[in-house]
Amino acid sequence: MNRIIMSIVILAVMAGMCCWSVFGVIKKTDSLLEKVHTVENAFENDDTEKCTEIAEELQNEWEEFMNRAILVNDLGHALDITSSIAEIYSFAQAENEELYAACDRAEAQIEVFKNMQLPTLWKIL
């Protein structure tokens, strides 16, 4: 009987940690998407200093997230996001119009990353 109770407790803890992890990823990706939009808006308003500052914050926030991320389903995709965010920072510093394309690419990749982390029946099976 004790084994069954311990199994249920372990299962409950694992399920709780999974939900906490998914919530954390959703919260972080939403924050990153908001920063990408802020960079784009600052560039559109010709506020180069703010654009570069927010782009640097975006890059630091992503690197911090990746350093803390233990269970990432697709590390290759995460490296693509790292590359796109680095492009955003580079284009912001250079005041290059390619910033819009880099922001769009990063937004799409972050959305895919966020959706990949969500548990679904097909991923569990």
Residue 27 lies in a domain: yes
Q: Helix/strand/coil (H, E, C) string of 18-54?
A: HHHHHHHHHHHHHHHHHHHHHHHHHHHCCCHHHHHHH
CA distances from 67 to 30, 71, 75, 79 (A): 18, 11, 12, 12
Residue 3 lies in a domain: no
Residue 4 lies in a domain: no
Residue 12 lies in a domain: no
Q: How many domains are there within the chain?
A: 1
Question: Domain span at residue 42?
Answer: 23-124
Tens digit of each residue's pLDDT (9 = 90 or more) over 74-119: 667 788 888 999 999 999 998 888 999 999 999 999 999 888 877 7
Residue 72 lies in a domain: yes
Residue 10 lies in a domain: no
pTM of the model: 0.81
Residue 17 lies in a domain: no
* Amino acid present at 53: E
* Cβ–Cβ under 8 Å, residues 114 and 25: yes
CATH number at residue 72: 1.20.120
- Sequence-distant contacts of 78-81: CB under 8 A, at least 24 apart: 78/113, 80/109, 81/106, 81/109, 81/110, 81/113
**What is the average per-residue pLDDT within 44-59?**
90
pLDDT value for 70: 62
CA separation for the pair 29, 25 (Å, rounded): 6
Tens digit of each residue's pLDDT (9 = 90 or more) over 11-46: 999 888 888 888 888 898 999 999 999 999 999 898
- Band (pLDDT 50/70/90 cuts) for residue 8 is very high
Work out whether the CA dihedral 17, 23, 24, 26 comes out positive or negative.
Answer: positive
